[in-house]
Structure 1
Amino acid sequence: MDLSTVLRWTAERHPRRRAVGGRTPMTYGQWDGHTNQLARAMAELGVRPRERVVLLSTGGEPLASLHLAAQKLGAVSVPLSFRLGPSELAYCISDAEPALVIADDSTSALAQEALASVEAVPWIRSGDPAEATIERLARDQPDGPLDVRVSERDISVMLYTSGTTGRPKGVPRTHSAEFHASVAHLLQSGQSLFDTTLGVMPLFHTMGLRTLIATVVAAGTWVPQTKFDAEEMLDLIAQEEISSLYLVPTVYWSLLRTGRLGEATSVRKLAYAGASMTPTLVKRLVDTLRPESFVNHFGSTEIYTFTVGTDVIAKPGCAGRAGVFSRVRLVEPFPDAPPDAEVAPGEQGQIAVSMGNPDAFAGYWHRPDANTKSIRGGWYFPGDLAVADEDGDLWVTGRVDDMINSGGENIYPDEIEDKLIGCPVISEVVVVGLPDDRWGQAATAFFVPESGTTPDHALTELRSYVREGSGLPSLKRPKRLIAVEEIPKSGAGKILRRRLSSGDYRSLADSDTATDR
């Protein structure tokens, strides 16, 4: 099944159903026609099937429509993060070798700066149909299906990884992979036909795309929020009667801090991904929303689903077991371990995911070195560590690259972070290993003080909490505490530990390392 057919068939079944909510509502019949016209406009601008189209936009309906239009043309959508700097954006554009770049009013200056260092690539703005934009060009195009044959084996989209360990890598994904991932999402998150979902996660991230495409498959209503704002999100939830949320934990924290989350009475289904969720956050969400279902989704850009924790309420933080199309195993936690080097039950190992999964990618774009590192014997190695409990459910313990060797002992940041976030004077915390003459690496906690708390006071309180309230054994207590204004994150919200470990931060308060030892 290709995504062009998915939208067309949904529109044939439910032409009058509301497809898009928010400020620019459309029925499925209208959205199908609009995306046909946009696809014809792309073709008029010289884009051919299987060529790549870079989409640089803050999001919302215009970006979603352009993504769907590319599917109808048989072109490859390449949504890029508007949070990238000019040099990183230039690298991605050059690497993708697009036939066209489409930017909006908020990103056109960034696009022009990036394109100045790239071999000539045509570009056009998206936005007001009254101006010289692709929407104006589309307005004069005929409606109706395009005379293009799109195969499920064709590339639908190429996402760029967030680059937490170097330059971003292109991840081409076929129409079949995108469709299977979306069906898996519907089954695994407990969504139903005609659900109303919130489209706030960016479309340059797999979570954003999954919410969009899964909603189209299920003939639901997709309600876009172009830029995240907690107060506006709660207004949208109430106005649109949104029934399911699929967000990263930091967004859930922001919603809770408004004090208004209890107003979201239409929300019945919760899901999260992208980072671990602490038991504290789980409890507060459950107490506030009383959801019918609460799911932890664990996967990646390359393979959408590794595992699914289907009952977050019963097992907070558990990654669960393989998804409906997945096969997962734990192997020895060293870099070149083969997929048959499985660890014994109860032992920590690195996750390996079968490439036989129908939502898997086939390899990185122009990166045979990355393929060699991550794909072995028909299995994909994302670099995550986990332990299986007696029920066979996985508990992610960190990443192979994040492991801290302190005094000859291996320490995993996740379990320390889960304890420290319970300190009431901090809002975020990340633990990394910094070079240390005595310990080799010293477990160091970078934290953001809670609003209204001075860095020095937060440091004092956290130091006391580490010793008396965290429950951490002395081996796992951070040797150093550093207050920072913010935790560095990628455009997709992933924590950039390498920036902290490389010294790329400004300290607001720093504990006396010698005292903590």
Structure 2
Amino acid sequence: MDLATVWAWTVERYPTRRAVGGPHPMTFAEWDARTARLAHALLGLGVRRGDRVALVLTGGEPAASLHLAAQRLGAVATPLSPRFGVPELAHCLADAAPALVISEPATAENTDAALRDERIRPVAHLDLDDVGRRARDQPDTPPSDPPGPDDVSVMLYTSGTTGRPKGVPRTHRAEHAAAVAHLVQTGGRTGDVALGVMPLFHTMGVRTLLASIVVGGTWVPQARFDAAEAAELIARERVTSLYLVPTMYWSLLRDADPAGLAGVRRLAYAGAPMAPALAKQLVEAVAPEAFVNHFGSTEIYTFTIGPDVAAKPGCAGRAGMFSRVRLVDPSPGASPDAEVAPGDQGQVVVSMASPEAFRGYWLRPDATAKAVRDGWYFTGDLAVADDEGDLWVSGRVDDMINTGGENVYPDEIEAALVCCPEVADVVVVGLPDERWGQAVTAFVVPGPDVTPEEAVAAADAWARRVLPSLRRPKRVIALDAVPRSAVGKTLRRVLVGGDYTALADTAAVPRERALRSDRGSP
């Protein structure tokens, strides 16, 4: 099914139901008229079916309405992160070759600079408000040439945590299947109220929006995440469903009144592992009816679903309703038939037969050939299956640390260190080392009222208490903040590349002082 039809059917069912919440609410009938006018405005600007429309926008209702307008027109929404620097933005614009670029005051300067790149053909660049003004006098009837299920709906760009972003075109059929899977797998219900804060350049943001439309729910926009504002919206708008990354949940519990979350009935997370300590706090604060770990990607929305985070914190569960998953030999070039023995760590591979799957990277047959082999998508994620057949993600193939000839993965070390009372955040990487090849190194953010020196000493002592020797960091460094992408993915490559300012470092702490801290630590 195409999304223009999905939209029309929902509007027909619930014309007077509130579709958009927040300070400027709209019913489905009102949102239908607005997105139709925007679609005709895009048409008047020369956008045709199949053309890409680059949206360099922060978020909120204007971005969502343009995304839907593109769906109704049969154009390809191409949202780009407002956090991209000029080089990344220029790369994406040159790669996508859009028919139109739309920015806003906060992103206009970088967009203008990126568009001067010699690789980019001349293209119209409009301000968001200008497009809105052009839409006012347009008809509120549907465009006459709607898309088909196999037309491309959206092109998302991967986060680029390990290299230049790659375009991931996704069809209307795949987007609809992913929205339906999301609703079933998270326990979504007709009339749900969802907080729309995840950015629309990320699969989680698109999924929240489309799932809300499919189920006839209310989407409550928040253009930029702010914990206090989010808590206020959740309470005032009576939000029933949250789908966020773990860092956002941490912020809600730390910076906002947890009592405001009491009306939320369904929690889901994705994008990064969740520490068991955070899962426990959320269960205590919210007592949700459903708490789901969604493990997937931009390329194939669902790999596996952990349906009960309260019972098995951190567990990624089993294959989703439209998925088929295997654990195979993580060696480069291994066959999808090379399944590992029960209990052994393997790379997660997912069948490309899933209706949620992409068809390949945009203009990158080399990347497609590397990621897709013999009908299976090689995710780059490592996991182990427990005795019940549920997966536990143990890291990324690219994040593996080879220290002293042994392979170590950061996730399990991070899960231990984040429980240290003096630490607010942590990331573990392997830094080059003459003796070890790579030295396990922990970067920590001090907790409230904890000095950087106290934080590194406490984390170092904690590691010696709770981790076996091979996994103990050889070095602990304090930072102001862990570098992360706009959707909370840890940017380990930034730290490995040396792009950080150390506030304190155990490399500068005499061993005797560290041992004294160890004896006095909890």
* TM class, shorter-length: over 0.9
Q: Residue in 1 aligned with 2:60? A: 60
Where does residue 130 of structure 1 map in the other structure?
A: none
Taking the aligned partners of 2:37 and 2:456, their CA distance within structure 1 comes to 57
Q: Which residue in the other structure is 1:246 paired with?
A: 243
- Mapping 1:164-179, distance limit 5 Å: 164-179=161-176
Q: Which amino acid aligns with 1:500?
A: L
The RMSD of aligned alpha carbons is 1.2
Give the counterpart of 2:491 among 492, 496, 502: 496
Task: Report the Cα distance in structure 1 between the residues aligned to 2:245 and 2:501, rounded to whole angstroms.
Answer: 25
Of 206, 211, 216, the residue aligned with 2:208 is: 211
Please say if residues 327 and 347 of structure 2, whose CA atoms lie closer than 8 Å, have aligned partners that are also in contact: yes
Match of 1:272 among 269, 272, 287: 269
Between the aligned partners of 1:331 and 1:163, the Cα distance in structure 2 is: 25
* C-alpha separation in 1, matches of 2:193 and 2:420: 36
Distance in 2, matches of 1:8 and 1:126, equals 25
Aligned AA for 1:388?
Answer: A
1:106 is paired with a residue whose SS is: helix
* Counterpart residue identity of residue 508, structure 1: L
Q: Which residue identity does 1:464 align to in structure 2?
A: A
Partner AA of 1:304 in structure 2 = Y
Q: Give the match for residue 518 of structure 2.
A: none
Query: Residue 121 of structure 2 corresponds to which residue in structure 1?
Result: 119
How far did 1:504 drift? Answer: 1.3
Deviation at 1:438, TM superposition (A): 1.2
Amino acid in structure 2 at the alignment position of 1:141: Q
Q: Return the letter of the residue paired with 1:268.
A: R
Q: Quick one: which amino acid aligns to residue 53 of structure 2?
A: V
Report if aligned partners of 1:198, 1:242 keep a CA contact under 8 Å in 2.
yes
Q: Quick check: 2:54–2:102 contact (8 Å CA) kept in 1?
A: yes
SS of 2:312's equivalent in the other structure is coil
Establish whether residue 87 from structure 1 lines up as the match of residue 87 from structure 2: yes
- Percent identical among aligned pairs is 61
Partner of 2:99: 99
Shift of 1:21: 0.3
Return the alpha-carbon distance in structure 2 between the equivalents of residues 512 and 71 of structure 1.
54
State the shift of 1:259 in Å.
4.8
User: What is the one-letter code of the residue matched to 1:122?
Assistant: A
Q: Does 1:398 align with 2:395?
A: yes
SS of equivalent residue, structure 1 residue 119: coil
Stretches of 4+ moved more than 6 A in 1? none
Whole-Å separation in 2 of the counterparts to 1:463 and 1:149: 60
**1:188 counterpart SS class:** helix
* Mapping 1:17-416, distance limit 5 Å: 17-117=17-117, 118-127=120-129, 133-416=130-413
User: Is residue 482 from structure 1 mapped to residue 484 from structure 2 by the alignment?
Assistant: no
Q: TM-score by structure 1 length?
A: 0.97
State the match for 1:507 in structure 2.
502
What SS class does the counterpart of residue 288 from structure 2 fall into? coil
SS of structure 1 residue aligned to 2:331: coil
Q: In 2, are the aligned partners of 1:84 and 1:491 still within 8 Å (CA)?
A: no
Matched position secondary structure for 1:159: strand
Post-superposition shift, 1:195?
A: 0.2
How many residues were matched structurally? 510
Q: 1:102·1:124 contact (CA, 8 Å) conserved in 2?
A: yes
Partner letter of residue 33 of structure 2?
G
| TM-aligned CA deviation for residue 226 of structure 1 | 0.7
Q: CA deviation at 1:121?
A: 1.0
**Aligned residue type for 2:56:** L
Residue identity in the other structure for 2:369? T
- SS of equivalent residue, structure 2 residue 503: strand
Residue 358 of structure 1 aligns to a residue whose secondary structure is coil
Q: Evaluate the alpha carbon distance shift between residue 209 and residue 259 of structure 1 in structure 2; reply closer, same or farther with a 3 A threshold.
A: closer
AA matched with 1:120: P
Q: Secondary structure at the match of 2:490?
A: coil
Distance in 2 (CA, whole Å) between partners of 1:289 and 1:493 is 22
Q: Distance in 1 between matches of 2:158 and 2:448?
A: 32
In 2: Cα distance, 1:81 partner to 1:10 partner: 29
For 2:336, give the aligned amino acid: P
Q: Post-superposition shift, 1:459?
A: 1.3
Deviation at 1:492, TM superposition (A): 2.6
* Partner SS, residue 201 of structure 1: coil
* Secondary structure of the structure 2 residue equivalent to 1:71: helix
Q: Quick one: which of 452, 455, 469 aligns to 1:455?
A: 452
Q: Structure 2 unaligned runs (5+)?
A: 516-522
Q: Secondary structure at the match of 1:364?
A: coil
**Structure 1 letter corresponding to 2:492:** R
TM-aligned CA deviation for residue 82 of structure 1: 0.3
1: distance between equivalents of 2:148 and 2:377? 25
Instruction: State the 1:424 CA deviation.
Output: 1.0
Per the normalisation by structure 2, the TM-score is 0.96
Asked if 1 retains the 8 angstrom alpha-carbon contact of 2:382 and 2:394, the reply is yes
The runs of 5 or more residues in structure 1 that have no matched partner are 128-132
- Partner SS, residue 512 of structure 1: helix
Q: CA deviation at 1:43?
A: 0.5
What is the Cα deviation at residue 258 of structure 1? 2.1
Please identify, of 447-456 and 325-334, the stretch whose mean Cα deviation from structure 2 is larger. 447-456
Aligned AA for 2:96? A
**2: CA distance, partners of 1:505 / 1:369:** 33
1:83-103 deviation digits (Å, cap 9, x = unpaired): 001111011011000000011
SS for the counterpart of 1:24 is coil
CA distance, structure 2, for counterparts of residue 482 and residue 119 of structure 1: 45
CA distance in 1, matches of 2:493, 2:110: 25
